[in-house]
Structure 1
């Protein structure tokens, strides 16, 4: 049960944030033309910028929570609403250079379930976080090196088979070697990636009435995996603004728990990318995906994407893609996705953006899922170091398989303030 003092502090924080005129996310503004950050701290030839986010969010499907004062073996089998606070201290380090360029961005995120809407939720408050490191060596030369690492802990997992109420710990390290013979008209980039992802439920108890893996605390670990990818990307710019693009990749995935067989999936696509007019850019690729493991599935791969430049500060993007990927418990899945994105910058300070996507996911076997997502909201730069905004997210997921975690609708509204020194 939430104590009165805790509830009062939570309401005070919510009220304080609601009075701020909109909260935004600095990391999402890099493509808008807005300059983010203060002077920072000088580090060599670069700058270190401490950042701080404070966000209040209403989430209609925040997780599975135990009833107040109930320490029994089960929790509700329905996703419950909650008011959630996000407190995110972070940093951004940029060290530019002609030979070596380094970019590091990250934050720690304390997710506090306030107990205002579902009193039993407070015990599931937890830490999340993100860190991105990119190092480029000799990026303007004929032979370069690119090193990267992406770390993320979040309740929005990368596995399409798992629904809400699950935490994901993901890390991937990458190495690439861009080759640019002949002045850069031809670019060939071999890359290798190694990643892992581990899952755990937000609630440590078994949801009543749940008999499927996506909400069973003992079952989600069967989706844990190790991933090794090796790929080769090629680009030939045969016209000043148009290129032939080729992409080949092998993915080897094994699962640390459960009985899912290892996967060895090949992707091979080729097509064109470039401008068809001063305002329209198009990417069109076609290819094939094949699993050489025990699942032995295959699919036609495709991507068709168009971007229209409405003005120097406004763009609209529409596209369709089809992918084939490995997944725990089912072996493989095919994802047919249609998406629409729009963004505009008004007055050099106000950014309005909207993103919508529809996925039809076909798992090996009989399971079929549909996922719809909508994300809209404004962001405003009050000062160089202060950005605010708000947003609304809607998600609708349905499956022919049972389970509240993969059959639900989700409404989220948030306000956020970002300060960057």
Structure 2
């Protein structure tokens, strides 16, 4: 027989996995069930935790480098080349809890060093990446509250589905939300406004030999640069203790700095149900429509069907399908049909085992079609409160009906990582 306390923990875990999209991100920052870090540095009522992360990684498609044996630095191969890469990430975590104002800041700087061990000449493309997340909540849980946030990221894994490998992305988004909970919280309405920008640049300014077109021309990636203004309204009505009607609408205005892509005016609206159907199963089901009212004028059916299964008190399995419609440079719009499977388990209170796989079929406005497959596996172990380590393997495969090494490749990555948190 399931004990009442265990049953309650099961409901809570499933509710968080289903109703809180940020859970996966929090776990990636160290959610192993073991308190992370030492005492940290006291800041007011909170703590500041300095962190240091060191990672060695093999990447079979690290970037475009001079061809093997070439002595001409002005020539770059059109094929993605392998390399051994070092990541050095100093960072910090700041938590300032309060009854009126709650602040959470997490971030790191990441120096990516291409060692030149596998592909001589790659060291010149070493660069700095980074991430910072700031969240401020005012009057959290009150009938009227305010949420402020900013997400900054510089990475070689861009948000644009149209751009392939070998490109750096600089992204920043500011968000302002106001959750409203009239009538005791059964109804929650959240209007939100966000503004984001993304800028792209290639690893090198040289044109890869044997390749032509915007998918590999370093002077053309700027045509994907954009400014994005989004207004959204999210609603949730808990008509049963553990089941809610959910409504989500977004209106996005996007304009591009160069390249001639017409401005996008995209309205997305979905509605459905989210909740727990048993002590071990949670389901989210939504359907809706997306429409561009700009010059492209495309539209598509939107959908989400996701199920989460509680294997045990410390293990979950999630599977789902989503269809989205978003604007993109050069092509105007794209539709993404995505299927995914995720699993995670905490063993012995210290060992976290996780796995994720996903397949995306991307349909651009026009004839281009891309297929993207991802696999991510790896354990993480908490040796001490202040020390954790992990290993992992990632596989990515991308193919397109258009040519270009940056959007037609297979990628194998293996890494070993150690993290210190004071």
- Separation in structure 2 between the aligned mates of residue 288 and residue 416 of structure 1, nearest angstrom: 42
Distance of aligned partners of 1:27 and 1:176 in 2 relative to their CA distance in 1, 3 Å threshold: same
Work out whether 1:347 is the aligned partner of 2:354: no
Q: What do residues 31-57 of structure 1 show as CA deviations (whole Å, max 9, x unaligned)? A: 442321111000000000000000000
Match of 2:317 in 1: 316
Match of 1:75 in 2: 76
What secondary structure sits across from 1:250 in the alignment?
strand
- Separation in structure 1 between the aligned mates of residue 318 and residue 36 of structure 2, nearest angstrom: 24
Q: What do residues 247-298 of structure 1 show as CA deviations (whole Å, max 9, x unaligned)? A: 0110000000111000000000000000000000000000000000001000
Q: Is the 8 A contact 2:205 2:219 kept in 1?
A: no
RCO comparison, higher one (Cα < 8 Å, 6+): 1
Distance of aligned partners of 1:40 and 1:26 in 2 relative to their CA distance in 1, 3 Å threshold: farther
What secondary structure sits across from 1:158 in the alignment?
coil
Work out whether 1:300 is the aligned partner of 2:301: yes
Q: What do residues 184-222 of structure 1 show as CA deviations (whole Å, max 9, x unaligned)? A: 000000000100000001122101122121221101110
Match of 2:44 in 1: 44
- Separation in structure 2 between the aligned mates of residue 52 and residue 138 of structure 1, nearest angstrom: 33
Match of 2:217 in 1: 216
- Separation in structure 1 between the aligned mates of residue 268 and residue 47 of structure 2, nearest angstrom: 40
Q: Give TM-score scaled by structure 2 length.
A: 0.93
- What's the offset of the Cα at 1:346? 0.2
Match of 1:389 in 2: 390
Q: Is the 8 A contact 1:69 1:120 kept in 2?
A: no
- Separation in structure 2 between the aligned mates of residue 212 and residue 275 of structure 1, nearest angstrom: 49
- Count residues with an aligned counterpart: 396
What secondary structure sits across from 1:293 in the alignment?
coil
Match of 1:185 in 2: 186
- Separation in structure 2 between the aligned mates of residue 106 and residue 193 of structure 1, nearest angstrom: 20
- What's the offset of the Cα at 1:365? 0.3
Q: Is the 8 A contact 1:379 1:389 kept in 2?
A: yes
What secondary structure sits across from 2:215 in the alignment?
helix
What secondary structure sits across from 1:122 in the alignment?
helix
Distance of aligned partners of 1:323 and 1:304 in 2 relative to their CA distance in 1, 3 Å threshold: same
User: RMSD in angstroms over aligned alpha carbons?
Assistant: 1.1
Unaligned runs of 5+ in 1: 1-24
- What's the offset of the Cα at 1:223? 0.3
Match of 2:164 in 1: 163
Unaligned runs of 5+ in 2: 1-24
Q: Is the 8 A contact 1:350 1:380 kept in 2?
A: yes
